[in-house]
């Protein structure tokens, strides 16, 4: 029912989602903290940029990222000058595109969690002479744990289900850029509906279980991502 190419696509998809989720937690956490705490006039503009993937078609994001990573794009010229070649149609390119497209699914739950912490715990920590670094890791992170869990799970699940961005940036290269969503597309084109059913059904069950767990354990965090 599933052949070696299907399992290769599943493995590549899981690998992509894991790398993207880790990167989003690393880079999304300071961004979410800044959005939650700043009074800068740029806050709304930055927040709008972060939320763009929620309203833009994936192909639009993929198209402009493809231009940027191409041989004539700024990122493509930089990587070429560094001897790395262009990133389009590579796994690294998939990671970059997926980070951009899944950004709001990690940043927004974290931002909501940081805002819910409030200023009182930070003031108490300051009176105890805790440094900002210690305050963040000892006070903020434990209190914002639901946001971290929600962001990580949503970012992972959203990356697994993406199609438009990965197709535009990575194409459909076996064992290199072919993920589950593009593998399903290939099966449908070849009228191999049994294999498509197995992969699509697996993604349907996975998505339902993820949302069920989140709505059960952290309903407030999930609702916050739809503001």
Q: Is the pLDDT of residue 22 over 90?
A: yes
In contact, 151 and 28? CB cutoff 8 Å: yes
d(CA 81, CA 225): 39
Domains assigned to the chain: 2-215 (1.10.3720.10)
Mean pLDDT over each residue of the chain, to the nearest integer? 88
d(CA 100, CA 37): 22
Please give the pLDDT value at position 227.
Answer: 45
- Average pLDDT (151-156) is 92
User: At which residue do the structure tokens 């929620």 appear?
Assistant: 54
Q: What is the pLDDT of residue 174?
A: 84
Q: Model-level pTM greater than 0.85?
A: yes
| pLDDT, tens digit (0-9, with 9 covering 90-100), for 31-89 | 999 999 998 889 999 999 999 999 988 889 999 999 999 888 898 889 888 888 888 88
Give the tokens for residue 34: 């800044």
CA angle 58, 162, 154 (to 5 degrees): 110
Within its chain, how far is the Cα of 84 from the centroid? 24
- pLDDT band for position 225 (50/70/90)? low
Q: Distance (Å, rounded) from C-alpha 209 to C-alpha 227?
A: 22
* Average pLDDT value for residue range 180-196: 90
pLDDT, tens digit, 9 for 90 and up, residues 194-216: 989 999 998 899 889 888 888 88
User: What is the mean pLDDT of the segment spanning 116-128?
Assistant: 86
| Dist. CA 111–CA 100, nearest whole Å | 17
Q: Among 27-31, 41-45, 213-217, 219-223, which stretch is predicted with the lowest mean pLDDT?
A: 219-223
Query: Per-residue pLDDT for 3 more than 90?
Result: no
């Amino acid at each position: 029912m599933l052949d070696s190419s299907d399992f290769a696509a599943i493995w590549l998809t899981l690998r992509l989602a894991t790398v993207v989720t880790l990167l989003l937690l690393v880079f999304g956490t300071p961004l979410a903290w800044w959005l939650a705490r700043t009074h800068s006039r740029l806050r709304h503009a930055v927040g709008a940029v972060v939320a763009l993937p929620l309203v833009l078609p994936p192909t639009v994001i993929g198209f402009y990222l493809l231009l940027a990573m191409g041989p004539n794009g700024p990122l493509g010229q930089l990587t070429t000058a560094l001897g790395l070649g262009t990133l389009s149609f590579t796994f690294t390119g998939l990671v970059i595109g997926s980070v951009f497209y899944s950004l709001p699914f990690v940043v927004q739950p974290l931002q909501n969690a940081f805002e819910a912490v409030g200023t009182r715990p930070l003031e108490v920590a300051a009176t105890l002479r805790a440094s900002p670094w210690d305050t963040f890791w000892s006070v903020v992170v434990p209190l914002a744990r639901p946001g971290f869990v929600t962001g990580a799970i949503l970012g992972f699940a959203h990356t697994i289900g993406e199609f438009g961005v990965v197709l535009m940036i990575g194409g459909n290269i076996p064992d290199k850029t072919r993920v589950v969503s593009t593998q399903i597309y290939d099966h449908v084109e070849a009228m191999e509906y049994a294999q498509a059913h197995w992969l699509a059904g697996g993604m349907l069950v996975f998505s339902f279980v993820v949302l069920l767990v989140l709505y059960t354990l952290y309903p407030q965090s999930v609702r916050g991502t739809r503001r």
